[in-house]
Amino acid sequence: MTLFLLIALLSFLLILLIQADLVLISFRSLFTAIALFFSAPEAFREIFTADILEFWIAAIYLVSIPIILALIARKSFRKKAAKQQKSDEQSLGKISLRAFMRHTIALYASAIIFVLYSAAFLAPFIAPFSPYDQQDFLVTAYQPPLSRLEALILRQPKNLIIPLQSGNGTTVQLANNLISDFQLLKTRNEPNAIRFVNEYRIEGNSVIYRQGTRTKTIAISEIAGTGKNIAVTRTFILGTDQYGRDILSRVIYGSKISLSIGFLVVLISVTLGTIIGVTSGYFGGWIDAIMMRIVDVLIAFPALFLILIIIATFGNSIYLIVITLSFTGWMGVARIVRSQVLSLKEQEFILAAKSLGLSNMRIIFRHLAPNTLTPVIIAATLRIGSIILTEAGLSFLGLGVQPPTPSWGNIINEGRDSLLNYWWISTFPGIAILTTVVCFNLIGDGVRDALDPRMRG
């Protein structure tokens, strides 16, 4: 565990060192955006997009996680040095954590999930290309893994996504500073346009290059580089798709969608199921009868069929997918929690709380809910994998996240027609889905063993 913490800490510091310019620009744009928001909220709303928010989150994550890892490593070293803690003085949580730490396979799975979520958060900094770039696909389309292509660096700057504002004053200056920083972030601090070529040669004051079957000429004065440095080499580690988009970048950005949907859906469904299960089991009577009949009807109704009806009726935005999957997946948790509450509410500590005159809400949230967390945590860890599979299946059918926004499911869908000839398009996102689901299931097994007193030994 300590070795993993050190490796992770060094990896984060290395990324921070390599991408120091982008991190500084991200924080600078964040402070500029805060100042613009308070001085001119309307101007801020016109400029702000979700794309720049990705860089802010990535920069904060990249700076904060090494600090957290350093604190955890320091605490781990101190515990090893002390070696004086008695097991009978430790809380149930600490005993369960120690039992989980002895579950080697679950620890490896947790490390892999941490890497996947870190890649999702740091996608703007670690993805080599934008997941939406389709430039020069005559050259870049269907390139196999580890392909290396040459690209001419032009003097022409990349187009501004948002035009600069005219005028004077503090507000205009802040807005233009934010737009300029946004442009640098979107182009990954490479403001010049590039042109991918199969081959090129210099003849006098011209550069003759070939793109597929086309041969073109450009004046050497339009090239940013000089001498032998007029071109750069770009490597596509996992190859490209039919539009020339980098598969590695799309898989990294796709992890943001797939992992986020899995986490949010489980969080919402587990919270809703816990509330309904505790309420039904504690109050009983007609409340329990009505709630359980609703649960029985929803369980009997095919969840996938209901999801397809909702998406076909209201559209297939990411938010609708999260809400739909959340409200079709809470019933199992509700029944588990209800069975736990039915056995707990007749025990002495609950009867003592009632005799002391404690309110129902206090009994539920202070005594019942915490004692039902064990099955809820196990159900949550096991359910994340199935949610990711469901989202990938919907995207594969064209009913989930819509292109060009990448998710693991729709990347596989884009490569299914050319699976034999261009296997890499669907293979790598498929491996990502397989790895994630297996790791979450292994973590669920480890949590179950750690929280079960019979399995601790």
Residue 84 has a pLDDT of 47
And the tokens for 185? Answer: 């972030």
Residue 250 has a pLDDT of 93
3-state secondary structure 44-67: HHHHCCHHHHHHHHHHHHHHHHHH
Residue with the two structure tokens 């800490």: 9
Residue 57 CA to residue 60 CA, distance in Å, equals 5
Residue 22 CA to residue 36 CA, distance in Å, equals 20
Question: DSSP per residue over 268-294, as a string?
Answer: HHHHHHHHHHHHHHHH-HHHHHHHHHH
Determine the topology of domain 247-456 in CATH.
Answer: MetI-like fold (1.10.3720)
**pLDDT tens per residue, range 264-281:** 988 999 889 888 988 888
Which residues make beta-bridge pairs with 207? 202, 218
Residue 362 has a pLDDT of 83
Residue 88 pLDDT > 60, yes or no? no
Q: Which residue has the higher pLDDT, 60 or 4?
A: 60
Give start and end residues of each alpha helix (H) in 103-169. Answer: 104-121, 123-126, 137-140
- CA-based max dimension of the chain: 97
Which whole number is the average pLDDT over 169-182? 86
Residue with the two structure tokens 């498929």: 430
Which whole number is the average pLDDT over 368-394? 83
Q: Please tell me what DSSP assigns to residue 327.
A: T
**pLDDT tens per residue, range 184-234:** 888 876 777 888 998 888 888 888 899 888 898 988 888 876 666 678 889
And the tokens for 399? Answer: 């009913």
Q: Which residue has the higher pLDDT, 101 or 291?
A: 291
Task: Select from 235, 238, 240, 200 the least CA-distant residue to 216.
Answer: 200
Residue 268 CA to residue 323 CA, distance in Å, equals 8
For residue 440, count other CB atoms closer than 10 A to its CB.
Answer: 25
Do residues 328 and 386 make contact, with C-beta atoms less than 8 angstroms apart? Answer: no
Residue 74 pLDDT > 80, yes or no? no
Residue 456 pLDDT > 60, yes or no? no
Task: Select from 236, 154, 231 the least CA-distant residue to 191.
Answer: 154
Domain ranges, ordered by start, for the chain? 137-161+180-236, 247-456
Residue 187 CA to residue 31 CA, distance in Å, equals 20
String of b and e for 191-209 (b: at least 16 CB within 10 Å)?
Answer: eebbbbbbebeeeeeebeb
Residue count of the chain: 457
Residue 103 has a pLDDT of 81
Residue 86 pLDDT > 70, yes or no? no
Amino acid of residue 10: L
Residue with the two structure tokens 């029985």: 296
Which whole number is the average pLDDT over 154-172? 76
Residue 399 pLDDT > 60, yes or no? yes
Which whole number is the average pLDDT over 394-407? 81
Residue 74 CA to residue 68 CA, distance in Å, equals 10
Describe the strand order of the beta sheet including 192-197 as a list of residue ranges: 192-197, 147-157, 231-236
Amino acid of residue 178: L
Element counts in the chain: helices (H) and strands (E): 21, 6
Which whole number is the average pLDDT over 295-309? 81
Residue 85 has a pLDDT of 47
